[in-house]
Amino acid sequence: MGWAGRNLTRDQRDAIARKLFTVTEEEDKWLNGLCPLHDDQNQSFSYNVDEDVFHCFRQCVEDGDLVDLYCNVRGLPLRSGEGFKAFRREFAADAGVGQPARRTPGEARKREVASDKSEAKREPRQNLEIPEAVYEAMTPVTPDWGLRLLHLRGWSRETIDGYGVRLLSHFRRKSDLYSVFPLKSIERVVIPVRDAQGVLRNLRCYHALGKPQGDQPKIFSWGRGHGASMLFPPASMLRPGSVLLCEGEGDCLCALSRGLNAITQTGKPNEWPEDHANALAGRKVTIAYDADQAGQKYALAAAKNLARKGCAVTIIKWPAFMGLRDDGTWPEDHGQDLTDYFVKHGKDVAAFLTLIDNAEPYAAASPPAAKGGQDPPATGSDPDAPYMRFFGMSANGRFTFRERTLADYLCQENPMMYHDKSGQLFVWNGKHFEIYSDEQLKRRAINALGDEATASRVASCSSLAMTMSAIPHGRSLNDREDWLCIENGMLNVSTLELVPHDRDYLATIMLPVRYDSEATPKPERWLTFLGETIQTEGPIAQLQEFMGYCLTRQTKFDKCLLLLGPGSDGKSKVIKVLRAMVGEANCSAVSMTGLEDQFQRSALFGKLLNVGTEVTTAALESEYFKAIVTGDPIQASFKHKDSFEFTPCVKLVYAANKLPRVMDNSDGYFRRILPIQFKRQFLENDPAMDPDLESKLMAELDGIFEWSLVGLHRLLAQGRFTMCDETRDILMDYRRFNNPVLGFVQDWCCITENTRTDIKDLYAQFKRYASENGFKQLNRENFMRELETAARKVREDAAVRVTRPRSANGARPYLVENIVIKAVTETV
Domains, the chain, ordered by start: 3-74+76-121 (3.90.580.10), 126-228 (3.90.980.10), 229-366 (3.40.1360.10), 386-468 (no CATH), 524-731 (3.40.50.300), 739-821 (1.10.10.10)
Q: Are 490 and 483 in contact (CB under 8 A)?
A: yes
Supply the pLDDT for residue 664. Answer: 67
Query: Which ranges constitute the DSSP H helices of 451-593?
Result: 455-468, 524-533, 537-549, 571-582
Q: Tell me the pLDDT tens digit for each residue of 482-497.
A: 999 999 999 999 999 9
pLDDT above 90 (res 161) = yes
Instruction: Quote the DSSP letter at residue 344.
Output: I
Express as a percent the part of the chain with pLDDT over 90.
47
Supply the pLDDT for residue 397. Answer: 57
pLDDT above 60 (res 108) = no
How confident is residue 137, by pLDDT bands cut at 50, 70 and 90?
very high
Rounded to two decimals, the pTM is: 0.53
Q: Tell me the pLDDT tens digit for each residue of 637-682.
A: 887 777 888 999 999 999 988 887 776 667 778 889 999 999 998 8
Supply the pLDDT for residue 189. Answer: 94
Cis peptide before 415 (omega within 30 of 0): no
Q: Are 534 and 679 in contact (CB under 8 A)?
A: yes
Which is it for the CA torsion 817, 819, 824, 828, positive or negative? positive
Q: Are 314 and 308 in contact (CB under 8 A)?
A: no
Residues in the chain: 828
Supply the pLDDT for residue 322. Answer: 94
Which is it for the CA torsion 433, 438, 439, 442, positive or negative? positive
- Burial of residue 96 (CB within 10 Å: 0-12, 13-18, 19+) is exposed
Q: Are 177 and 205 in contact (CB under 8 A)?
A: no
Average pLDDT for 133-157: 93
Q: Tell me the pLDDT tens digit for each residue of 358-383.
A: 999 987 544 333 333 334 455 445 55
Q: Are 524 and 668 in contact (CB under 8 A)?
A: no
Rounded CA-CA distance 565/681 in Å is 8
Q: Could you tell me where the beta strands, DSSP code E, fall in 739-813?
A: 749-758, 801-803
Mention every residue, 6+ apart, whose C-beta is less than 8 A from residue 741. 766, 778, 783, 786, 787, 790
Helix%, strand%, coil% for the chain, nearest 5: 40, 20, 40
Q: Are 241 and 331 in contact (CB under 8 A)?
A: no
Helices and strands of the chain, counted as H and E runs: 30, 36
Average pLDDT for 303-322: 90
Which is it for the CA torsion 82, 85, 89, 94, positive or negative? positive
Q: Strand pairing of 284-288 and 312-315?
A: parallel
- Burial of residue 403 (CB within 10 Å: 0-12, 13-18, 19+) is middle
Supply the pLDDT for residue 93. Answer: 59
